[in-house]
Structure 1
């Protein structure tokens, strides 16, 4: 098939990820770009990481770093505990790692180490977990923080007059830098959407898998979308990040 597929925020929902890849009939010929936030939410956070490590042995995979990945990485590597992280899914990751050996944890730390903050393909498409703030582009950011925390890029896209086009006065300079931008981080369920949603040239693929939504995948070229069941139905005895 030789497709390029972009996958939204997983948040520990391994059952949804497996279901999604089966529905999309993913083969080793497909390139997979994951937008981050693999952990914190459902009980399979650590198992998601193990699964992705194995998946990367047969598929070309690009793993972007999300804010939850950064926080879980800091805890695994340094024992750093952030109270807000614990309140927003971090405890589920701590619980998930209780059955893992030190050797397995070290393997996961290496996985987190190797994540990238953003990816730009040959056709000037940007893939990033959250966004960027520098008008000259992500390469000019002074700190990596916006790559996995920024919401202004998405909020700006939602506010743009649909009549504006690149080059028009008032069209944001940040958006003119790329043909297309693919993000996660801010669930589109917040604006009443259930599938990946486009605003300006940004595709938001986070469809609320951490809460009451589904896990989603999009073909970068055809824009065909695949989705899992609502993730909470796959983990009926859990609350996710609710």
Structure 2
């Protein structure tokens, strides 16, 4: 696949980002070594690029440390990939007075002047926040991240194979939908009218794999993450059957 065709396949990405990824692919093929991206990407990006493996003539892998990780680095190799340039840190920010949330930790990390793509997923657990980060910025974070808001914090670097690594907390539910159209699924998941769901889609308040999609008739596939602003985040796992009335039964994980 030439560069022009690749850029067309990933046209949802900024041109310089897509071009940089393609150059890494070509380099991996040329020197016959593992080449990884220096950033974490959202599902739409790594899923799309993984699907191009055969056309590009190289193995493509993605990794985000956590089970069910959403943001992942992408690796290109003619062989297998045994390690990735990523590290897991634990930000300890326990406070009797402040209930620290995901946005508090992310905001403090971003305030260090590091772009979002250098961080993977953040999972809150055990009075702290576990963060997947690019290896190259770990020392910088340890030196400069001293507080989350007004709460003092400390940093621990963990083994990525540690049993301490938390998992996402999901509520598994089965819902019945008349169609896998995004407006229909959102209506059911959020317990709102179909017209209200359509309105949310049109307003860009519904993200599919972290990207806006304004098509109310978009069909959702398994393993798709839907974020509905003001209502929550959901992962479509799979179709599990049909009801007697002809509706589709789908298994959904609701992020807690």
Structure-1-length-normalised TM-score: 0.24
Higher strand share: 2
Higher helix share: 1
Report 1 or 2 for greater relative contact order, CA contacts < 8 Å, sequence distance ≥ 6.
Answer: 1
